[in-house]
A and B are shown apart, each in its own frame.
Chain A
Amino acid sequence: MQQLLNGLFLGSIYALFAIGFTLVFGILDRLNLAHPAVFAAAAFVGIELVTVGGLSIWVALPLVAVFGAVLGLVIERVVFRPLKDRPDAHFAGLIGSIGLGGMFIALLLWRYGPDTRRFPVDAFPSTAFEIGGARVTLLQVAILVISVVLMAGLTWLVARSRLGRAMRAVAENPRAATVLGLDVNRVTATTFALSSALGAVAGALFAMNVNSAQLGMGSAIELKGLAVIIVGGMGSLPGALVGGLILGLAEVFAVQYVGSSWRDLVAFGLLFLLLIVRPQGLFGSRRVREV
């Protein structure tokens, strides 16, 4: 039971991180590898807001989201917009975003130094309860609730709202969307902002969950984010949620039963098998390339 819950909490953070990844991939067909840098940057900024700014965590989190959104706009404007009409936009965007992500990390190094940072101990009430014999902290519940609410909100946004409709139109056919009067650049920028805001919140929550933030925390989760969006199906929002939870549970149980050194092998073994058996992922619909 304890393991199940731990897996669930860990998985919800993976899912929140991955959902930003998959949002950009699903709508714009681009892999944004600056996303992990946003994840790390948000953790550091969140910690600074709480420790130096003296803000409550509930004020800091929305601010972190705003900070992430701004980074998303920067990523779109600096890397993806200049590259969008290139025949190799896919490779170029991928590599360009690695470059910008490296710049973000270098700036973090400048501002915060190479050391590990932590949220202050009293940043969050350390209340804990027992559920079915398992110990659960308020923090973990909060993480789960925030993640699920944000993901549900995003899913609703994409499926129902006017903005979501515009996003899906751009995903389907950017040129047709332009002809129909949509401002594709704006929709694209908004998508990046949303994606990065989610990645930022995930970063702050992750730093709270493991009680530390390091410069390399983004690259550690990057691989897992990729695994999650593949398992869930590229571009599928519910897929990212389920994929994140599966990965979180698989990791926790792998540590329990196989040993911690084999933990990542379980994840990647699953990923690899799934790609071969069902490349479109659990929830993805394979995009058939028309002849």
Chain B
Amino acid sequence: MSESILVFIALNAIFAYSFYAVLVAGQLSLGQAGFAALGGFTAAALAPAPSDLGELPALLVGIVIGMVVGALAAVVLGLPTMHLRGVFLAIATLGFAEAVRILLINAEWTGGANGMSVPKVVTPAIAWTCLALVAYWFWRQGPTSYGRALAAIREDELAARAMGVDVGRHRLSAFVTAGAVAGLYGVLWAYYVRLLAPEDFSFTTAIDGLVMAVVGGSTVWIGPLLGAAFMTSVPEILRAVGVEAGWIRPFISSALLLVVIIFLPGGLASLLPRLRVKAPAGAMEDERPVDRGSSRKLVGPGEPVVRVSGGSKDYGGVHAVRDVDLTVASGEVVGLIGPNGAGKTTLVNLISGLVPPSSGSFDVLGTTPGRTAVHKVAQAGVSRTFQHSKLFPRLSALENVLVGAHVVSRPTFLRRLVWLPGARRDEARVVAHAARCLDRVGLADRSGEDAGSLSYGDQRRLEIARALAAEPSLLILDEPAAGMNHVEAGALSELIGSLAAEGLTILLIEHNVGMVMRTCDRIVVLNFGEVIAAGTPEEIIEDPAVVEAYLGGDAPPPGHESEEVR
């Protein structure tokens, strides 16, 4: 293999990593070519000449300049665009990259369309060292609370928010990482090709980088490296085996791309055996508690955890929740029942901050849901399950629970980069904690399976384990027994009973009235968005308004489900 192929594989892999950096968080950005161009040109213009400083020092200065410029450009571009999703983000960033390219073509200091002459300094050893460092970074990033939070955002942004992940900050930091890595690529490219031209960073370049990342596998750290090696060497191999130039080579390259995409869903990396975080044997004996974080307000027994007064939510003309007063005291188990479309889910969405109220005052553990960001409400100690499971389907059961433990785990990524033993201890502690939560719901032997492949009942229990992992001060369960058979529901009822017995504050929405009667201290009944009764189970069962709502008279119109959480 020739020297240039080796260098190009390394450079392409680094560029592919700049796409991987955001793809792991589910963001599609095409602005990397712009970051690379800015980084490369600025470094080439500002860094001292290799003849003055020596080749390697000059390159290092250039790399620092390029990475800083790339990262800064990512901040500048990221701040206004981070609220965009999917193709909108892709096209906005693409517009940025094109604008950068046109500016560089028209600028004086870059040599315009002719380009800039840069000394060739990069050797295969330098290129592969840089690649190794980048790959190392992403390898260490994967199994940390930061890496898992990014994966959670990719899988289900809303659920990640509800687990206390600050989505905006994580997305921006992934974007800035992409900018720095792309800047590195730009500098290495500049110091290898001798003549640096704005056309080197066109739309096609960006698409090539994206293709390499996806073909290699955009969820596994080794993926971009495999993709770059594959896509870079295929044309060379075709040439070596004597396929003539012309149409056949691009045809085969394109066809291979299509084949990989269709037949290897996880990219080339899925051909490798996948190492999964597993709960080590005996992990659960590690009884050291997790860190609940100092920001959390401690609530004494009997003090109010939730205070809602006059809470209302309208959707157009529909009053989903109307003038509701609700107080939940610490240690209480409160049941929320009512016919379909009564506004139960809307009410817990208001309490967990997922939807802003139309009016009324909400105080949950010292936060104001609706005005306080969702992840801050979660960090204050509110943890919930969803009526329709919102798990992270491509993460394992254990990883799902580990994301749930996000608010109680310490950041370990930077310490993992330098192998500090404390990081390993902290990770082991969180894994042990997560394993206990899985065991608690009876899923200990399923920890390595993908959440998406679990049975329906197991998924519901996994969601409870994930919510428990946050060590919540208030646990909200939205129809946990929905779709379970009576054996499973019985086991679930016992679990909730044992949680309640430990003094956990629980708000339980459930249609299984028997379960609610057994486990709840107090029951609130909603109908048409209003509280029609509240009291102990005994009082509720006697209440004529409740009997009326459930059995008699005018049944509520169905089809109000659209306002509820899916």
CB <8 Å contact, B355 and A291: yes
Q: How large is the interface on A (under 10, 10 to 19, 20 to 34, 35 or more residues)?
A: 35 or more
| Chain A residues, Cβ within 8 Å of B98 | 223, 264-265, 268
A sample of 9 inter-chain contacts (CB < 8 A) reads: A106-B250, A109-B246, A219-B203, A265-B103, A272-B95, A275-B91, A279-B84, A291-B349, A291-B354
Segment with Cβ contacts to A, from B204-212, B519-527, B542-550: B204-212
If over half of A's interface residues share one DSSP class (helix, strand or loop), that class is named, otherwise mixed; here it is: helix
The residue that A96 contacts in the complex, of B96, B210, B262, with Cβ under 8 A, is B262
Instruction: Report yes or no: A279 in contact with B262, Cβ–Cβ below 8 A.
Output: no
Q: Nearest Cβ distance between residue B84 and chain A, in whole angstroms?
A: 6
Closest Cβ neighbor of A78 among chain B residues: B258
A91 — which chain B residues lie within 8 A by C-beta? 23, 28, 214, 218
Q: Give the residues in chain B near A264, CB-CB below 8 Å.
A: 98, 102
Interface string of B20-62 (1 = CB under 8 A from A): 0001000010000000000000000000000000000000000
Within 8 A of A (CB), among B343-380: 349, 354-355
Interface residues of A in 1-46 (CB under 8 A from B): 25, 31
Tell me the residues in window 75-120 of chain A with beta carbons closer than 8 Å to chain B beta carbons.
Answer: 78-79, 82-83, 86-88, 90-92, 95-96, 98-103, 105-107, 109-110
Choose one: B99, B105, B214, B394; the contact of A268 (CB below 8 Å): B99
Interchain CA distance A213-B215 in the complex, whole Å = 31
Question: Which B residues are CB-close (under 8 A) to A86?
Answer: 265
Whole-angstrom distance between the alpha carbons of A227 and B255 in the complex?
Answer: 28
Tell me the minimal C-beta distance from B252 to chain A in angstroms: 8
Could you tell me if B87 and A261 are in contact, using CB atoms closer than 8 angstroms? no
What are the nearest 8 A-B pairs in CB distance?
Answer: A102-B254, A99-B258, A106-B251, A99-B257, A110-B247, A109-B247, A106-B250, A275-B92
What is the distance, in angstroms, from B238's C-beta to the closest C-beta of chain A? 12
Q: Considering the complex, which residues of chain A in the window 195-230 have a beta carbon less than 8 Å from any beta carbon of chain B?
A: 219, 222-223, 226-227, 230
Which residues of chain B (102-158) have a CB below 8 Å from chain A? 102-103, 105-106, 158
- A234-291 at interface with B (beta carbon < 8 Å): 234, 261-262, 264-265, 268-269, 271-272, 275-276, 279, 290-291
Query: Is B565 among interface residues, defined by CB-CB distance under 8 A?
Result: yes
In the complex the two chains form, is A102's CB within 8 Å of B565's CB? no
CA distance A53 to B91 in the complex (A): 40
The tally of CB-CB contacts under 8 A between chains A and B is: 133
The answer to whether A82 touches B262, judged by C-beta atoms less than 8 angstroms apart, is: yes
Q: Interface centre among B92, B207, B254, B349, by most A CB within 10 Å?
A: B254
With most chain B CB atoms within 10 A of its CB, the pick from A79, A99, A100, A110 is A99
CA A264 – CA B198 in complex, angstroms? 14
Q: A223-B98, A268-B95, A272-B95 are in contact. Are A96 and B265 (CB under 8 A)?
A: no
Most chain B beta carbons < 10 A, residue from A100, A110, A268: A268
Chain B CB within 10 Å, residue with most, of A92, A222, A223, A272: A272
Residues of A with C-beta under 8 A to B452: 87
B86 within 8 A of A: yes
Q: Among B261, B562, B565, which residue has its beta carbon within 8 angstroms of that of A99? A: B261
Q: A95 CA to B246 CA in the complex, in Å? A: 23
CB distance from A253 to the nearest CB of B (A): 17
> Which A residues form the contact surface with B (CB < 8 A)?
25, 31, 78-79, 82-83, 86-88, 90-92, 95-96, 98-103, 105-107, 109-110, 219, 222-223, 226-227, 230, 234, 261-262, 264-265, 268-269, 271-272, 275-276, 279, 290-291
Contacts of B393 in A (CB 8 A): 87
Complex: chain A residue closest to B394, CB-CB: A87
B83: A residues at CB distance < 8 A: 279
Contact, CB under 8 Å: A234 / B87: yes
Q: Which chain A residues lie closer than 8 Å to B23 at the CB level?
A: 91
Contact yes or no, B94 A226, CB < 8 A? yes
Chain B residues within an 8 Å CB radius of A110:
246-248, 251
Asked if residues A230 and B88 are in contact (CB atoms below 8 Å), the reply is yes
Decide yes or no: A31 and B87 within 8 Å by CB, A86-B265, A275-B92 being known contacts: yes
A91-B218, A230-B88 known; A261+B102 contact, CB < 8 A = yes
Nearest CB on A from B10, distance (A): 22
Contact B91 A271 (CB under 8 A): yes
In the assembled complex, how far is the CB of residue A231 from the closest CB belonging to chain B, in whole angstroms?
10
B425-467 toward A: CB 8 Å interface, digit per residue (1/0)?
Answer: 0000000000000000000000000001000000000000000
Contacts beyond the supplied A95-B210, A99-B256: 20 A-B pairs with Cβ under 8 Å: A78-B258, A83-B261, A88-B265, A92-B261, A95-B261, A96-B262, A98-B211, A99-B254, A103-B255, A106-B251, A261-B105, A262-B106, A264-B98, A265-B99, A275-B95, A276-B81, A276-B92, A279-B84, A279-B88, A291-B158
Chain A: CB-nearest residue to B210: A95
Q: Which residues of A contact B512 (CB under 8 A)?
A: none
Contact in complex: A275, B81 (CB < 8 Å) = yes
Interchain CB contact under 8 A, A262 and B565:
no
- Please indicate the chain B residues that have their CB under 8 angstroms from the CB of A98 in the complex: 207, 211, 254, 257
